[in-house]
């Protein structure tokens, strides 16, 4: 039994305990709904910033695993790669939301994503009582990538993205071995090129490929906005694939939100039941979405 807190009146302690019990009871149907289900969570580079937020995120992931869900974390790290490149005097350049990645840059990308950020997240999850395993697309040949297409910007300017890849094949053997054994995979979006080199893969795209290959029940994308917003910056709580396509066509969805919703469409068409784009800066965003009636962000379904 836990010790009563001495400086609070007993009635307050009892009502708080009661409230806690009620909250737990309300989570039961949600836990049952996701029991044994695979949930892929994409943790964006903007959401990662701040130790307190990262600890809360790690707690949520461990709580999910403890309640019978199989979480798979895929992380980004765009701002962190940018900061390291700036320290080394290398300028970050993007085309169509993707980093133009030369030979020197891809080495830094791998170092930051598969090295420091991946191990930081593994550390936070383990500190919260979980058993995380940090991997990247190269491990177990999980994700093989092909060179991303050149992109056209400003109507006629063709840009070669360099060492940027798109998932070509996904082999889930390693993940199949890990899931269901109290282990939490944490994946960095770096992949082996079909010819053996290294490719930098956009984290949203990488996460969508993993969610699709695993047939995840839910795919959550944690970012720095409340979800998909309409022209008046109001949250759109529910969208279908057709509605998303219309919002891209009329320019409501732009910039970094385009690869995000495109990966959502890919995952849904590959069999994922529902995809949610939500604000990763909100404390316990993952638990709010999965284990309460509240729901957060934009739910996209077929």
Ligand X SMILES: CC(=O)N[C@@H](CCC(=O)OP(=O)(O)O)C(=O)O
Positions at the binding site: 77-78, 99, 200
DSSP E strands in 17-103: the ranges are 38-43, 70-75, 94-95, 98-99
**Residue selected from 45, 137, 162, 280 as contacting ligand X according to rule CB under 6 A:** 45
For ligand ADP, the closer CB: 71 or 256: 256
For helices 103-110 and 78-87, the axis angle rounded to 10 degrees is: 120
Q: How far apart are CA 220 and CA 211, in angstroms?
A: 10
Which among 83, 80, 87, 85 has a CA at the least distance from the CA of 102? 85
Size of the residue set binding ligand X (CB under 6 A): 14
208 binds ligand ADP (CB under 6 A): no
How far CA 147 is from CA of 196, 252, 294, in Å, comes to 12, 29, 41
Contact partner, 254, from ligand ADP, ligand X, none, Cβ < 5-8 Å per class:
ligand ADP
Binding mask 247-266 for ligand ADP (x = CB under 6 A): -----xxxxxx--x------
For residue 81, the partner it binds in ligand X, ligand ADP, none, with Cβ less than 5 to 8 A by kind, is ligand X
Query: CB 190 → ligand X: shortest distance, Å?
Result: 8
280 near ligand X (CB under 6 A): no
> Per rule CB under 6 A, is residue 141 in the interface with ligand ADP?
no
Token output for 55: 């600890």
- The answer to whether 71 contacts ligand ADP (rule: CB under 6 A) is no
Shortest reach from residue 156's CB to ligand ADP, in Å: 24
7-30: burial string, b at 16+ Cβ within 10 Å, e else: eeeeeeeeeeeeeeeeeeeebeeb
Q: Site size for ligand ADP, by CB under 6 A?
A: 18
Strands (E), the chain: 38-43, 70-75, 94-95, 98-99, 132-136, 143-147, 151-153, 157-159, 165-170, 184-188, 190-193, 198-200, 218-223, 238-240, 274-279, 298-301
Closer by beta carbon to ligand X, 95 or else 291: 95
44 binding ligand ADP? (CB under 6 A) = yes
Q: Which 3 state secondary structure label does DSSP give 271?
A: coil
Query: From the list 225, 268, 278, 288, which residue makes contact with ligand ADP (rule: CB under 6 A)?
Result: 225
User: Which residues form the interface with ligand ADP (CB under 6 A)?
Assistant: 44-46, 76, 78, 204, 223-225, 228-229, 252-257, 260
User: Which residues form the interface with ligand X (CB under 6 A)?
Assistant: 44-45, 76-78, 81, 98-99, 109, 164, 189, 200, 202-203
């Amino acid at each position: 039994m836990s010790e009563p807190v001495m400086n609070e009146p007993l009635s307050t302690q009892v009502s708080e305990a009661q409230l806690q019990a009620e909250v737990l009871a309300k989570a039961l149907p949600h836990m049952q709904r996701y029991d044994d289900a695979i949930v892929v969570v994409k943790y964006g580079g903007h959401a990662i910033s701040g130790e307190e937020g990262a600890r809360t995120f790690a707690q949520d992931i461990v709580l999910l695993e403890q309640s019978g869900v199989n979480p798979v974390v895929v992380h980004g790290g765009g701002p962190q790669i940018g900061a390291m490149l700036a320290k080394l005097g290398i300028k970050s350049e993007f085309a169509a939301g993707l980093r133009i990645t030369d030979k020197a840059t891809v080495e830094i990308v791998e170092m930051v994503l598969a090295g420091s950020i991946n191990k930081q997240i593994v550390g936070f999850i383990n500190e919260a009582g979980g058993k995380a395993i940090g991997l990247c697309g190269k491990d177990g040949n999980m994700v093989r990538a092909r060179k991303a297409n050149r992109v056209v910007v400003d109507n006629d300017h063709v840009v070669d993205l360099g060492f940027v890849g798109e998932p070509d094949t996904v082999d889930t053997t390693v993940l199949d071995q890990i899931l269901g054994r109290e282990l939490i995979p944490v994946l960095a979006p770096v992949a082996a090129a079909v010819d053996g080199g290294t490719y930098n893969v956009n984290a949203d795209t990488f996460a969508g490929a993993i969610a699709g290959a695993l047939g995840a029940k839910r795919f959550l994308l944690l970012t720095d906005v409340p979800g998909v917003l309409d022209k008046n910056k109001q949250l759109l709580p529910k969208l279908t694939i057709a509605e998303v396509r219309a919002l891209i066509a009329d320019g409501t969805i732009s910039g970094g939100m385009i690869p995000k919703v495109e990966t959502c469409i890919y995952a849904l068409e590959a069999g994922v039941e529902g995809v949610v784009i939500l604000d990763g800066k909100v404390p316990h965003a993952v638990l709010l979405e999965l284990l309460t009636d509240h729901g957060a962000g934009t739910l996209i379904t077929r």
